[in-house]
Structure formats: structure tokens, C-alpha cells
Amino acid sequence: MNAASYPLILEPREFSLPAAEGVLVVDLCKPETYAEAHLPGAVHLDYAALTLSRPPVGGLLPGDTELSRVLSAIGLTPDKHVVAYDDEGGGKASRLLWTLDVLGHSRISLLDGGYRAWTEAALPLEREPVIAAVSEYRAISGEDARADRDYILGRLGSPDFALVDARTPEEYSGKNRRAERGGHIPGAVNFNWVNAMDPEREMRLKPRDELAENFAALGVTQDKEVVAYCHTHHRSSHTYIVLKSLGIERLRGYPGSWSDWGNDPSSPIEV
């Protein structure tokens, strides 16, 4: 399979190594994992570089200048297809892919099951760190793939609008309160992000039909605009990529997520 035909969700055995010209493999594993072993040719990216904190709000999107610096440092260019993976279920890798979606960089793939699935399949690894050829990537943020608090407030109650809360049921109900207030955004449905993964298959995604059926049962269908959120848009970045793979076209992620909404006393909540 060549890079031009890589799907959004890329099965490890479908990924040919060495990577084709025009492919950038990005490792978002823990630094110690990368130092021990990583996919051949993979450059390492620290997850923290993709987020901005303004306490008590975390998980915000850095500005274009900072994103330009971060993405240039890993050698990204507009023509490259990014294959991202991590060692924690895909949340960190998906945050990178969501960020690229915000920038209009549409050539992206999530390695299904990430590092765990790759190693379980006994596929090639290397130990030497990869030094990226620094590029001059120019990040220009768009609005189509992200939502903020005001945007969501303006859409609440619309029949063609759905909110997916990717946190645990305890966070969703307010039993586990990680912000000034607990609960969820009014009308949001709860889909714990880990429920998309199959622990029997090294945390690969569950079958597409099963996932589509699960979301449809919650009222999340292709005819609606969907916003995914969690606490800082880490877990919900994974949900965003899952929904994108299911064909949801009007799709946004909420940077800041509940750390923003739950710490604003004027935002309506449900428990």
C-alpha cells in the first residue's frame, strides 16, 4: 500500500516499512518508550508541545506561531502524509491528527492499536533516535474542526447538533468532579473513549459497524454536526478521529473541554 491510499485508520500490517517518500511517522509515546524502541524512521514528539494551559483550563490549542515551530521541528511539510501512534490507546496521537485537521492538513492516519499492536505483531523496531530534518512549516488555524464555548452555546438545542462526552460515566454524572463544577454540557451523550477500543486486539478499534451502531443508538448520526469533548480534549481527540473514520463530516473538537466549561460559572450544566 502506498501513502496515497493510506486510510485514516491504518492497520499496522498494512503499513509498509521503510516508510514511503512523503510519509512522516510521528511517535507520541513516553520518552522512555521511544528511547527503548520505536518504529523505524519515527520522529518523537512530546505531547505537551501540542497543548497550551491557562489554569484552570488545560488542553487549549497553541497559537499558529508556536504550532509552526513545533511542527517544523519534526520536519513536517504540506505534502507529507502523517502516520501517528502512541503507547496509550491513541489519545495523544489523535490530538496531533486533530491539530493537523484544524490546520487543514488532511493527509493523516492513526496507526490502529499504536505501539502495542505493532510490537505484538513482531514488526520491525529500531533504537537509534531519529533526528528530523527541520522544515519551515507554516501553521494556519481554521475553524471548521474546532468549537469553543460560545460556539457550543449557540448550537445547544438544535435538532441537527450532537455533543459527545468522552469522559468516564463518573465524570459525566458529576460524581467525579475535576473542575469547579461537575456534570456535563446539556444534551451531551456519554461515550467513554475506551469503549471504542478492543482490549483483546491490543487496543485496536472495534469493528466499524459496531461503533457506528453504538453511536447511532446515542443519536450520533451522519446527518448531525457533532462536537466531541472530554476534560482537556485529549481523550476526545481519539473520539473525534473515530467519528471521522465513521463518516461524520460536520465534526469538531472542543479544546479546553470540561476544564473550560466546568470552571465557567455562567455555563449551563446537567448532572
What does the pLDDT look like over 112-142, one tens digit per residue? 999 999 999 999 999 999 999 999 999 999 9
Average pLDDT over residues 36-56: 97
Q: Do residues 109 and 12 share a domain?
A: yes
Residue 231 lies in a domain: yes
What grid cell was written down for 225?
454536526
pLDDT at 3: 66
Residue 230 annotated to the active site? yes
pLDDT at 262: 98
Average pLDDT over residues 100-123: 97
Q: Do residues 68 and 162 share a domain?
A: no
Long-range contacts at 45-52 (CB < 8 A, ≥ 24 apart)? 45/70, 45/74, 45/96, 47/86, 47/92, 47/95, 50/95, 50/96, 50/99, 51/95, 51/232, 51/234
Helix (H) or strand (E) segment spanning residue 26: strand 23-27
Residue 129 lies in a domain: no
Q: Do residues 185 and 97 share a domain?
A: no
Q: Do residues 88 and 43 share a domain?
A: yes
Q: Do residues 176 and 251 share a domain?
A: yes
Q: Do residues 101 and 179 share a domain?
A: no
pLDDT at 78: 96
Residue 112 lies in a domain: yes
Domain with 194 in it: 149-261
Q: What percentage of the chain has pLDDT greater than the value 70? A: 98
Which one is catalytic: 230, 241, 246, 248? 230
How many domains is the chain built from? 2
Residue 64 lies in a domain: yes
Mean of all residue pLDDT scores within the chain: 96
